């Protein structure tokens, strides 16, 4: 039997506001436990939540980016459940009337084709606190700092057909929220995580199979792993005549398996009702237009512009626009040296070589865009050759200073003085009569030998084009 996997993702992205969604408490990460949860975040009697206006603008931004309808009126609802890290006994979320309605986003598949993935909705909600199971012996610690942190939950249609598609979609949403500046997307800190809903059905069948929901996965690699393992598990059950039960499962990265947490709750279990403490959110056309005017260029548009404006290959353009920081870095390098092609090669090839080796972000590259731009200019104005430039880049990476200072300090300036190069060429020709004879007898390949000798004598500093030209001229005399 041929099985078709079906996947839908619920992505929780933390919105990058400084204060919480309904209170003035700080959202800064890493504070001592329970120092950033105020009475409102805990829902103590007598307090009233007040909506942070910024989260509304951020949700609208996201909605516009995925070409979704923005609800003119959306409503906060209480989702009731008991858990130690939720002292209020309910989470404020949106249920029937979410702020962002149906939209879509295109993903690029490995074979180069594009696929459109539907987004069902995106709604605002508050995060719960955090249970710390590892830190205390025989007890669980509760840190409520995260309670009330603003989240945008982005729910996809069950449109993905493989783990690879799900990861491509997750990456695309990740890049988008970072481009929009509405989330830092930091996965280690839990600012971007997802629940993956997975089912399988016989190929050709329309009806969806029973799904399981894999909870709270916070890395792209784990999402791919968890989904693949879950697909296999479900197929095995079905092929041995069993039935998949609808449940919530946990992916355990250490054991590389998924296991059952609880049977899946239905919406009615939560007793949703509109929160009586919060007014409905009304959004007018002017509000939307104001946000639209502040939208940055989006990843797809930027990629297309890089192809048309800078004449880059689609592959280079896709690489350089994957993250907004990379795109901005690249454009600053282009501005510094004026050569889009060279800039792409140096950023993607050389600089990312260093960044990947040391697992660093471009935002903390020790070589700035201005430095790289100057370096490329020094190749263009013949101060150094491309080969020597790699040596200068290494020195800059190691903190030895600016381009020109390194070139001077290390004596790397290219020899363009024709007289000096000519002297070396003459010497090499005089010292190698046998090779000269063979070359003149037609052994063209020896050209490389002569050039190599001159470059060696000048420690790579002679201008290669001049060397070539001079040798050719001398040997044809
Ligand atoms: P909840 O998980 O809150 O009960 P939904 O029914 O809205 O919510 O579905 C959540 C996610 O599960 C959505 O992303 C949806 O696309 C996906 N989904 C629903 N049914 C299936 C299925 N049979 N197989 C795979 N994914 C599914
Ligand atoms: Mg769910």
In ligand 1, which atom is closest to the CA atom of 213?
A: 2
Give the 3-state secondary structure of residue 384. Answer: coil
Q: What is the mean pLDDT of residues 182-192?
A: 94
> Does the structure show a pLDDT above 70 at 223?
yes
pLDDT the model gives residue 464: 81
Gap from CA of 8 to ligand 1 centroid (Å): 6
- Mean predicted lDDT score pLDDT of the chain: 93
For 51-102, how does the pLDDT look when each residue is reduced to its tens digit (9 = 90+)? 999 999 999 999 999 999 999 999 999 999 999 999 999 999 999 999 999 9
Q: Are strands 192-202 and 3-14 parallel, antiparallel or unpaired?
A: antiparallel
Gap from CA of 265 to ligand 1 centroid (Å): 12
Which residue's CA is the nearest one to ligand 1's atom 24? 199
Gap from CA of 163 to ligand 1 centroid (Å): 15
Gap from CA of 297 to ligand 2 centroid (Å): 31
In ligand 1, which atom is closest to the CA atom of 264?
A: 4
- Whether the CA torsion 55, 58, 63, 64 is positive or negative: it is positive
How confident is residue 32, by pLDDT bands cut at 50, 70 and 90? very high
d(CA 20, CA 263): 31
Cβ-contact 218, 193 below 8 angstroms = yes
**Residue 156 Cβ < 6 Å to ligand 1:** yes
Q: What is the mean pLDDT of residues 162-183?
A: 96
Q: In Å, what is the CA distance from 386 to each residue of 354, 383, 414, 448, 464? A: 17, 10, 10, 18, 10
Q: How many residues does the chain have?
A: 477
Angle 407-408-410 (CA atoms, 0-180°, nearest 5)?
Answer: 70
pLDDT the model gives residue 12: 97
* Residue 35 backbone zone (phi > 0: left; psi -120 to 50: alpha; other: beta): alpha
Task: For a ligand 1 pocket test, name from 155, 206, 245, 249 the mutation site with the most ligand atoms within 8 angstroms of its C-beta.
Answer: 155
What DSSP letter does each residue of 57-74 carry, written as one string?
HHHHHHHHHTTPPBPSEE
Gap from CA of 209 to ligand 2 centroid (Å): 16
Q: What is the mean pLDDT of residues 298-308?
A: 96
- In percent, the amount of the chain with pLDDT more than 70 equals 99
> Does the structure show a pLDDT above 80 at 268?
no
For 319-336, how does the pLDDT look when each residue is reduced to its tens digit (9 = 90+)? 999 999 999 999 999 999
The strand pairing partners of 263, in sequence order, are 247
- 289: exposed, middle or buried (Cβ count in 10 Å: 0-12, 13-18, 19+): exposed
Q: What is the model's pTM?
A: 0.85
Buried b (16+ CB within 10 A) or exposed e, 126-161: bbbbbeeeeeeeeeeebbbbbbbbbbbbbbbebbbe
pLDDT the model gives residue 419: 83
pLDDT the model gives residue 442: 86
Give the 3-state secondary structure of residue 92. Answer: strand
User: Rg of the chain over CA atoms, in angstroms?
Assistant: 30
How confident is residue 267, by pLDDT bands cut at 50, 70 and 90? low
Query: 390-397 — which CB contacts under 8 Å span 24+ positions?
Result: 390/350, 393/346, 393/350, 393/351, 393/354, 393/367, 396/366, 396/367, 396/371, 397/354, 397/366, 397/367
Task: For a ligand 1 pocket test, name from 117, 211, 247, 269 the mutation site with the most ligand atoms within 8 angstroms of its C-beta.
Answer: 211
d(CA 55, CA 43): 20
In ligand 1, which atom is closest to the CA atom of 210?
A: 23
**Residue 197 Cβ < 6 Å to ligand 1:** yes
For 3-29, how does the pLDDT look when each residue is reduced to its tens digit (9 = 90+)? 999 999 999 999 999 999 999 999 999
Gap from CA of 187 to ligand 1 centroid (Å): 22
pLDDT the model gives residue 136: 82
Give the 3-state secondary structure of residue 24. Answer: coil
User: In angstroms, how far apart are the furthest CA atoms of the chain?
Assistant: 100
What DSSP letter does each residue of 121-186 carry, written as one string?
EEEEEE---EEESSSSTTS-EEE-TTTT-EEEEEEE-S-B-SHHHHHHHHHHHHHHHHHHTS----
The H-or-E segment that residue 6 falls in is strand 3-14
Gap from CA of 404 to ligand 2 centroid (Å): 57
The H-or-E segment that residue 426 falls in is helix 418-431
Structure tokens of 142?
A: 């509760």
Gap from CA of 385 to ligand 2 centroid (Å): 57
**Residue 155 Cβ < 6 Å to ligand 1:** yes
Which ligand has the shortest distance to the CA of 215?
2
d(CA 18, CA 459): 55
d(CA 333, CA 403): 14
Task: For a ligand 1 pocket test, name from 3, 7, 77, 158 the mutation site with the most ligand atoms within 8 angstroms of its C-beta.
Answer: 158
**Residue closest to 425 by CA, chosen among 466, 382, 386:** 466
Cβ-contact 149, 36 below 8 angstroms = no
Task: For a ligand 1 pocket test, name from 197, 200, 206 the mutation site with the most ligand atoms within 8 angstroms of its C-beta.
Answer: 197
d(CA 17, CA 15): 6
CB 466: neighbour CB atoms within 10 A?
Answer: 19
Q: What is the mean pLDDT of residues 144-162?
A: 97
**Residue 6 Cβ < 6 Å to ligand 1:** yes
């Amino acid at each position: 039997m041929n099985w078709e996997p079906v996947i839908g993702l619920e992505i929780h992205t933390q919105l990058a506001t400084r204060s919480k969604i309904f209170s003035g408490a700080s959202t800064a990460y890493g504070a001592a436990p329970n120092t950033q949860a105020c009475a409102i975040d805990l829902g103590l009697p007598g307090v009233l939540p007040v909506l942070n206006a910024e989260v509304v603008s951020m949700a609208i931004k996201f909605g516009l980016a995925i070409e979704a309808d923005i609800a003119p009126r959306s409503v906060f609802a209480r989702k009731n459940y008991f858990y130690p890290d939720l002292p209020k006994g309910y989470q404020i979320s949106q249920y029937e009337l979410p702020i962002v309605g149906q939209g879509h986003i295109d993903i690029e598949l490995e074979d180069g084709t594009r696929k459109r993935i539907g987004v069902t909705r995106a709604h605002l909600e508050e995060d719960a606190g955090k249970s710390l199971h590892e830190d205390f012996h025989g007890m669980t610690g509760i840190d409520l700092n995260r309670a009330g942190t603003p989240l945008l939950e982005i729910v996809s249609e069950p449109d993905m057909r493989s783990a690879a598609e799900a990861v491509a979609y997750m990456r695309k949403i990740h890049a988008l929220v970072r481009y929009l500046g509405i989330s830092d997307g930091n996965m280690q800190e839990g600012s971007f995580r997802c629940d993956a809903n997975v089912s399988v059905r016989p190929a050709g069948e329309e009806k969806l199979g029973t799904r399981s929901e894999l909870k709270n996965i916070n890395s792209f690699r784990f999402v791919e792993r968890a989904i693949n393992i879950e697909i296999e598990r479900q197929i095995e059950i079905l092929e041995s005549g069993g039935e998949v039960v609808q449940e919530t499962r946990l992916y355990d990265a250490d054991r590389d398996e998924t296991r059952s947490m609880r049977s899946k709750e239905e919406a009615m279990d939560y007793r949703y009702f509109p929160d009586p403490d919060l007014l409905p959110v009304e959004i007018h056309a002017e509000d939307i237009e104001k946000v639209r005017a502040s939208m940055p260029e989006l990843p797809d548009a930027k990629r297309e512009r890089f192809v048309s404006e800078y004449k880059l290959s689609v592959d280079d353009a896709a690489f350089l626009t994957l993250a907004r920081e990379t795109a901005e870095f690249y454009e600053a390098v282009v501005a510094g040296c004026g050569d889009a092609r060279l800039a792409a090669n140096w950023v993607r090839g050389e600089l990312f070589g260093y960044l990947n080796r040391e697992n660093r972000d471009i935002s903390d590259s020790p070589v700035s865009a201005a430095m790289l731009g100057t370096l490329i200019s020094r190749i263009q104005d013949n101060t150094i050759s491309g080969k020597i430039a790699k040596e200068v880049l290494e020195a800059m990476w190691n903190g030895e200073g600016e381009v020109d200072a390194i070139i001077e300090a290390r004596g790397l300036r290219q020899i363009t003085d024709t007289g000096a190069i000519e002297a070396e060429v003459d010497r090499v020709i005089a010292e190698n009569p046998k090779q000269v004879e063979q070359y003149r007898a037609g052994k063209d390949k020896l050209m490389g030998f002569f050039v190599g000798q001159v470059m060696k004598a000048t420690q790579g500093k002679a201008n290669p084009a001049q060397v070539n030209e001079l040798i050719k001229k001398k040997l044809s005399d």
